[in-house]
Chain A
Amino acid sequence: MSNTVLYSIKDLSKSYSQNNKKVNALRNVTLEINHGELVSIQGPTGGGKSTLLQMLGGLDKPSSGSISLAGDQLETLSEVKLTDVRARKIGFIFQNYNLIPTLTALENVQTALVPQGVNKANSEKRAMAALESVSLADRATHLPAELSGGQQQRVAIARALVKNPEVILADEPTGNLDEETRDQIIDLLVDLNRNQGITVILVTHDSSVAKRASKNLHIGNGVVTTR
């Protein structure tokens, strides 16, 4: 595990208006996440977990404060540059898998390589390797609807992996899975972190998942505490 800083967050705040009321989703968050860490984020619903994950993923910009990812100051980047950062450095895993329903498992994985302009042959090769790493090579030509929830999430993990990201951001990746499948997915993420050194930040309600993390963050009412 490297000790170099991947994320450096200082006085990060995010507020927005909801029903004419100001909501402070994040309040002066300051923290660092190093390369190779497995970080869990827990907290009550509406506490700011997803907002923090969106800031980490460059999907939204803070109201104030700064956030850097491997040297890129995300709050200052244009939308085009942020898109480029997401394309190269960040892998996303969603609770609902978010696969493209009309594309096969292989093609879904390939979508992550489209922004990088990888040619077709290379793209297919890398996507197939990613599917093999999640033990789904034999389901490459299946549509998402033909796969179980666990298999779909593994395709989503392969899609996040295929671009060799600096970090994987997972938003409740086991939220829709049964216990057995949940363990398989967590094992897979832990394995990626430990064996491939990929930084994994995951939002979870599950304390058993949090126990396997190297760092546990708790967020409530927009305030982050480290446990």
Chain B
Amino acid sequence: MFLTYLRRELSQRKRQTLLVAVALGTSIGLIIVVNAASGGIGDAQKTVLSGLYGIGTDISVTKNVQPNQDGRGFAFGPGNTDAAGGSTLSQTRLTVPIFSGTFDQQTLAQISHTKGVAKTAATLKLNQITFKGNIAAAAQDPTAPRDPNSQRRGFGGGNFNIDMTSIEGVDTSDSKVGPLSGVNIDKGRNFQASDANSTNALIDSTYALAQKIVVGGVLSVNGTDFTVVGTVSSASATPETSSNLYIPLAQAQSLSSNPGVVTNIYIAADSSSNTAAVQKAIETLVPDATVSSQADLAKNLSGSLSSASSLVNALSKWLSIIVLLVAFLIAILFTSSGVTRRIRELGTLKAIGWKTNRIVRQIMGESLVTSFFGAIIGLVLGIAGIFIVNAVAPTLSASVARPGRFGGGGPGGAGFQPPDGGFQPPAGGFGGRGTGFGRAAANATTLKLHIGMNLSTLVLAVAIAILGGLIAGSYGSWKASRLSPAVALRSVA
């Protein structure tokens, strides 16, 4: 009788059953799509950020310094003087980037032992700047008259090339954290632990193409030849990796005369929920360092990806709550009004001997089956929504600040302007210290939004629908259980 009565109730009261099921189903479907979109946008963010940050990295630690601190800068020694009084230069410098500070071994060890830190990877970022060419005598004279066209003093008669290669010394034994965690090996192989003291190198595929270097080729770093064993590209939408060349950390420290120091520390927390606590602990430990998490980096994102992320993050929380509350309310109200409308029916059943728990079971059963229909409708709507979003595949643009590159100079002349920096030759000629390589550049990329179906979300959605049925059924049952048959029968007499 339970099933017969249940089936008859639901089929005879189709409109109410359908309305409650559709209300629950719509909310469940919306939750599935919004959460899937949230996941898809999160994945898109990770894809964009991973190229800069490393896929397994939760926190990065760097240090900013003023340009002339530590005696670093853009300085070359005097060249050979030619017959016209000009200088002929061919010099290479391998230095830590102008704005980058360094960490010693002790700081690295302290960070490694901070509570919540699962793994660290340290790198030494270097710039190798090669200056080749001739600077005319006038260009070196700080008292020379200004060029009437450029208004710059001197600096007009040289003919030179400046090449800069960004080099990163990395731990060759483990690439799960750090810059190499977010790269693909295009050709050749990755580093191995045995490469620690070798002169093997990995090269960025884009840089390798520009420089026409292939696996097996040789590159000179501060006078030492390195053999390219592999080419790498970013796993993100932008193929370029964070440096042009990767060499073993010990070699980078030795060649740049920076024994035991590093510029970047990449950290994997033991749990994603610990990231904030670890970040705070390291900020306390190294107050002059810049400690950035994925979340901080994500804040630097701009473009439609960022807007979509903000929108979906807000939506996934509040929309889900509001829609669920409305759906639950509808289910409760309809179940409650159903009990009120059936007061004579339920009172009669009590009068003829139906126990209260049997009536409660009947109402709970009807409510649960209705919510089950709601769950099916929700799944269908949710999956259809995901398919539609993926079929439309909206294009999202993202722009994120990333370390600047300095690609190499052209022939000398006034008004040299590097592609993504802000190089300003100092007044008074080129022989002094330089300042102002661009620190960062906006790197724009686009990607198609793809949202995936998450089994746990689908299961959760069904569970929420059933929960809605349970709540509505419980309320209806509570009303029915309090029903006195005498009052119920009297109320319709």
Using a CB–CB cutoff of 8 Å, the interface residues on chain A facing chain B are 50, 54, 57, 59-60, 79-80, 83-84, 86-88, 91-92, 94-96, 98, 100-103, 107, 110-112, 114-116, 123, 159, 163, 171
Contacts and interface: CB of A to CB of B under 8 A. Distances in A.
Chain A interface, >50% SS class = helix
Interface extent on B, as a size class?
Answer: 20 to 34
A210 B356 CA distance: 36
Contacts of B9: 102
Interface of B: 1, 4-5, 8-9, 11-13, 344-345, 348-356, 358, 484-486, 489-490, 492-493
A163 B352 CA distance: 10
Contacts of A102: 5, 8-9, 11-13
A1 to B, nearest CB: 26
Contacts of A92: 348, 351-352
A59 B358 contact: no
Interface centre among A50, A87, A102, A114 (most CB of B within 10 A): A102
Given A102-B8, A103-B8, A111-B1, A86 B351 contact: yes
B349 to A, nearest CB: 7
Which 6 A-B pairs give the minimum distances between C-beta atoms? A87-B353, A115-B353, A102-B12, A98-B348, A59-B486, A102-B8
B353 A112 contact: yes
A47 to B, nearest CB: 14
Contact of A83 (B11, B355, B490, B492): B355
Chain B interface, >50% SS class = helix
23 contacts: A54-B486, A59-B485, A60-B484, A60-B486, A80-B355, A86-B353, A94-B348, A98-B489, A100-B5, A100-B348, A101-B345, A102-B9, A102-B12, A102-B13, A103-B5, A107-B4, A111-B5, A111-B352, A114-B1, A114-B354, A115-B353, A115-B355, A123-B1
A114 B353 CA distance: 8
Given A88-B353, A101-B12, A114 B358 contact: yes
Contact of A98 (B11, B344, B486): B344
Nearest to A175: B493
Contacts of B344: 96, 98
A103 B355 contact: no
B481 to A, nearest CB: 11
Interface centre among A59, A101, A115 (most CB of B within 10 A): A59
Given A100-B345, A114-B1, A57 B351 contact: yes
B478 to A, nearest CB: 16
B263 to A, nearest CB: 76
B353 A107 contact: no
Contact of B352 (A96, A103, A115): A115
Contacts of A86: 351-353
Contacts of B5: 100, 102-103, 107, 111
Given A54-B490, A102-B9, 17 more contacts: A79-B356, A80-B355, A87-B352, A87-B353, A92-B348, A98-B489, A100-B349, A101-B12, A102-B8, A103-B4, A107-B1, A114-B353, A114-B354, A114-B358, A115-B352, A115-B358, A159-B352
A143 B359 CA distance: 21
A28 to B, nearest CB: 21
B90 to A, nearest CB: 97
A95 B493 CA distance: 8
Contacts of A159: 352
